[in-house]
Structure 1
Amino acid sequence: MSVASPAAAAARGALVLFSGGQDSTACLAWALDRYARVETIGFDYGQRHRIELDCRRTVRSHLAARFPHWGAKLGEDHLLDLALLGQLSDTALTSERAIEVAANGLPNTFVPGRNLLFLAFGAVVAWRRGLDVLVGGMCETDFSGYPDCRDNTMKAMQLALSLGLDAPMTVETPLMWLTKARTWALTQSLGGDALNDLIVEDTHTCYLGERGQRQAWGHGCGQCPACALRAAGHAQWQAGREAPASA
């Protein structure tokens, strides 16, 4: 999706799809840096890693405390019960099973329709709250092959939501073309070491819901696809920071 200019965004309000993970926290910081009013929405769908729902509160609280200029813009949080999605799904994100690639070529962490439902319910809340921008961490560059993360899917949803609500509803995906290394660089540019330290310490991305061991890149099992992507991206970003400047 295209990204609105800072000047155009200044007077608008945004609703961030906020899971409590690295990507959604990057999106929240990005939105707070651009929009006059920002609210967040999360979804409880019986996810295996539902510890992320607890992390959401911590991230919001610490973000507001450490960045008062953003805290002044940070509005209400909304948590929706989407248990039906978990009941309809038979995936490694909603049940205890090994993570693997399914016969259709997709990883079995794919929850069919998840992002479509998130955007639809998010748009309803945004419309009711007088917000006209939805911000999500969908990404085509470092992703697991999920079709509901594709740019064309987001464009189609933006059109459908705007038509269905009879009101413009912009879908912003600031991470769509970023690698995980560039996502770390983005948050560094937005909030420096303080923001990246918060992401390492407070966010949750591990599919297995493990928070025991803290790695350089954050808490997690270190083995699942989400942890592997996060770790590799952090290592690449750090290597880029430490590389000497070219002459």
Structure 2
Amino acid sequence: MSIVTLVSGGLDSTLVAFLAKEAGNPQHPLFIDYGQRSKQKELDACRRAMALIGLGTPEVAELSGFGKLIRSGLTDRSLRVLEDAYTPGRNMLFLLTGAAYAERLGAEAIAIGLLHDQTCIFEDQRLDFLNAAEALLKMAIGRPIQILAPLKEFYKRDVVELAKEKGLTGTYSCHLGEEVACGKCIACLEYRFGD
């Protein structure tokens, strides 16, 4: 099955790409610039991770205008990265862009690195959302595009453990985009396994 893999340079999406490669699926890594504060750090990590996995340079969808219009703590430095993190429509933007790209490539699926529903903060991270999005994308694209979320039964500790086992390193997940991870944004807080 040919897959458009949504990759961000973070641990979750890097593991998704690695698992798809390990399963022998042809992949088309796609990085989405939605105007995120951490774009450059994410993209640099993404390029390194895809090279490490052997997938080559990811395509980049330049959609930074989304973050200028839909301001949030993830896209606007004047807002708080944790308290103002909700970015309406972000995952739908990712899936629609991935599906349109998949349609052009003749790929059958999109892969996204979402975790267990119990870890979800926003509605567009849940399995119900993915099921509804798959039906909507079929209408929008004109053919079925399967949404794969191979980490949906995983908690962050499971991702970290499997990534270590597979030798994945050098990812970047902080929403601030600074040299050192802030330890305070949603992405950083996911690493508190006991919660």
SS of equivalent to 1:141: helix
**Conservation of the 8 A alpha-carbon contact between 1:14 and 1:35:** no
CA distance in 1, matches of 2:18, 2:129: 24
Partner of residue 56, structure 1: 46
Counterpart pick for 1:223 among 158, 172, 184: 184
1:17–1:40 CA contact under 8 A, matched in 2: yes
Structure 1 segments (4+ residues) deviating >4 Å: none
TM-score by length of 2: 0.89
CA RMSD of aligned residues (A): 1.8
Task: State how 1:142-153 maps to structure 2 within 5 Å.
Answer: 142-143=119-120, 145-153=121-129
Quote how far apart the aligned CAs of 1:128 are: 0.9
- 1:141-180 counterparts in 2 under 5 A? 141-143=118-120, 145-180=121-156
- Higher Rg: 1
Q: In the alignment, is the contact (CA less than 8 A) between 2:110 and 2:145 conserved in 1?
A: yes
Match of 1:78 in 2: 59
Deviations 1:96-122 (A, max 9, x none): 122344xxxxxx211110110111111
Q: Which letter maps to 1:99? A: V
For residue 118 of structure 2, give the secondary structure of its aligned residue in structure 1.
coil
**1:40 and 1:77 in contact (8 A); partners too:** yes
Equivalent position SS for 1:111: coil
- The answer to whether structure 1 residue 18 and structure 2 residue 7 are counterparts is yes
- Mapping of residues 119-138 of structure 1, within 5 Å: 119-138=95-114
- Separation in 2 of the partners of 1:54 and 1:25? 13
Gaps of 5+ in 2: none
| CA contact 1:55–1:204 (8 Å) conserved in 2 | yes
* Structure 2 counterpart of 1:204: 172
Match for residue 99 of structure 1? 81
Quote the Cα distance in structure 2 between the aligned partners of 1:163 and 1:124.
Answer: 12
Separation in 2 of the partners of 1:158 and 1:60? 26
Instruction: Give the share of equivalent positions with the same residue, in percent.
Output: 30
Query: Structure 1: which 5+ residue stretches go unaligned?
Result: 1-11, 65-73, 102-107, 213-219, 237-247
How far apart in 2 are the matches of 1:38 and 1:75? 10
Q: Partner residue of 1:87?
A: 68
Shift in Å, 1:75: 6.0
